């Protein structure tokens, strides 16, 4: 397959991925998905599996199970049956069978047994060695020990775990956000660990299209819970807010973020300090307020700013966590 064909197929498949994400609870036949990509069902099945590493049916099933797994953790008052039905499963028995096959444990264990989770230096993650039979995880890039175990970093993490608000959190506000129209690049896998590489790509694209300027707004849409989804299958859209009539360019894809209520956390600091901010937010803020995370994707919103290679460089951005009243 030559480069133009590869890019054209990617864009057609991305239409399918966006369709699946928007209709995850609905019944989706292979022929319907093939029509979205303008392929025959046979050709679509082949192309999708080659590009994604899993069949369309497996992809949809995995997204439903991973979303259910996330809801089990953050919506603890919802019953397992309610979560199963809300994620496209017709019976609790069918959900239980699929969940155990995928994660190697039942939903109650997943929700309650802390021995399945460990702190990896940045966040809590599901331990792949906990049970046999679960999907494999790709190893994350090694974190330099000098950064991971720096005394000041460990002290800041400890303080955040104890409920002390870190200095890198400038402000926190629950407010309504509009839908942003974004020219974006879809990225998958452990590239999620390389946010500066994503922003560099956006800056280059913006310069080519005359959009470089201090009034630009960068958007990063994180579709998955990095504690649950295998590293090789993480989905992230990174791009720049553009006018609704901005013409297609053959490289980026248009994505509209979900409008609604968000906890907007204004962050200012080194990138490695985000782990401290997240430790405080997820272990204390939600416990002390009347909100819980919603199922919309998490959004990073950043002003147009240059990149710095200095390890001590400081950045400003907003962490926008979708929320709803309990």
Let me know if residue 52 belongs to a domain.
yes
Residues 273 and 192 in one domain: yes
What pLDDT was estimated at residue 125?
52
Flag whether pLDDT at 208 surpasses 70. Answer: yes
Let me know if residue 43 belongs to a domain.
yes
> What Cα–Cα distance (Å) separates residue 22 from each residue in 91, 186, 223, 230?
22, 16, 12, 21
Residues 233 and 305 in one domain: yes
Task: Summarize the confidence of residues 118-135 as an average pLDDT.
Answer: 44
Residues 187 and 321 in one domain: yes
- Cα angle 40, 42, 44 (rounded to 5 degrees) comes to 65
What pLDDT was estimated at residue 153?
67
User: What does the DSSP assignment read for 165-197?
Assistant: PPTTEEEEEEEEE---EEEEEEEEGGGGG-HHH
Percent of residues, the chain, with pLDDT higher than 70: 83
Specify the CATH number for the domain of residue 21: 1.10.10.60
Residues 200 and 316 in one domain: yes
What pLDDT was estimated at residue 158?
74
> What Cα–Cα distance (Å) separates residue 254 from each residue in 132, 209, 219, 270, 314?
40, 15, 12, 30, 29
Residues of the domain holding 24:
3-112
Number of domains within the chain: 2
In the listed set 112, 139, 161, which residue is the last one of a domain according to the structure? 112
Residues 200 and 107 in one domain: no
Whether the CB-CB separation of 44 and 37 falls below 8 Å is answered with yes
Beta bridge partners of 241: 182
- Where is pLDDT greater, at 92 or 141? 92
Q: Is the dihedral of CA 227, 90, 100, 116 positive or negative?
A: positive
What pLDDT was estimated at residue 7?
76
- Where is pLDDT greater, at 145 or 8? 8
What pLDDT was estimated at residue 95?
95
Band of pLDDT at residue 77, cut at 50, 70 and 90: confident
- Where is pLDDT greater, at 288 or 263? 263
Specify the CATH number for the domain of residue 270: 3.20.80.10
């Amino acid at each position: 397959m030559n480069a133009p064909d590869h890019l054209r197929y990617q864009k057609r498949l991305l239409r399918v991925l966006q369709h699946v994400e928007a209709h995850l609870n609905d019944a989706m036949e292979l022929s319907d998905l093939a029509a979205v990509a303008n392929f025959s069902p046979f050709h679509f099945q082949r192309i999708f599996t080659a590009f994604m590493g899993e069949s369309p049916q497996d992809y949809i099933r995995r997204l439903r199970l991973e979303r259910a797994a996330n809801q089990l953790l953050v919506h603890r008052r919802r019953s397992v049956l309610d979560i199963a039905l809300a994620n496209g499963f017709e019976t609790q028995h069918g959900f239980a069978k699929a969940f155990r096959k995928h994660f190697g444990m039942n939903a109650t264990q997943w929700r309650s047994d802390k021995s399945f989770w460990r702190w990896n230096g940045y966040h809590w993650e599901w331990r792949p060695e906990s049970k046999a039979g679960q999907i494999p995880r790709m190893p994350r890039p090694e974190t330099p020990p000098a950064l991971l175990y720096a005394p000041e970093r460990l002290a800041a993490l400890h303080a955040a775990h104890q409920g002390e608000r870190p200095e890198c959190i400038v402000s926190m506000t629950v407010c309504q956000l509009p839908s942003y129209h974004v020219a974006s690049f879809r990225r998958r896998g452990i590239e999620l660990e390389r946010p500066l590489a994503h922003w560099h790509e956006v800056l280059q694209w913006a310069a080519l299209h005359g959009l470089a300027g201090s009034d630009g707004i960068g958007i990063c849409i994180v579709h998955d819970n990095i504690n649950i989804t295998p590293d090789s299958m993480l989905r992230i859209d990174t791009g720049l807010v553009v006018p609704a009539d901005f013409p297609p360019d053959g490289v980026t894809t248009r994505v509209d973020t979900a409008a609604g209520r968000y906890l907007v956390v204004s962050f200012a600091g080194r990138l490695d300090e985000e782990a401290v901010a997240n430790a405080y937010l997820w272990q204390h803020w939600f416990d002390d307020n009347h909100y819980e995370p919603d199922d919309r994707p998490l959004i990073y919103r950043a002003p147009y700013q240059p990149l710095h290679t200095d390890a001590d460089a400081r950045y400003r951005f907003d962490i926008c966590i979708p929320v709803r009243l309990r």
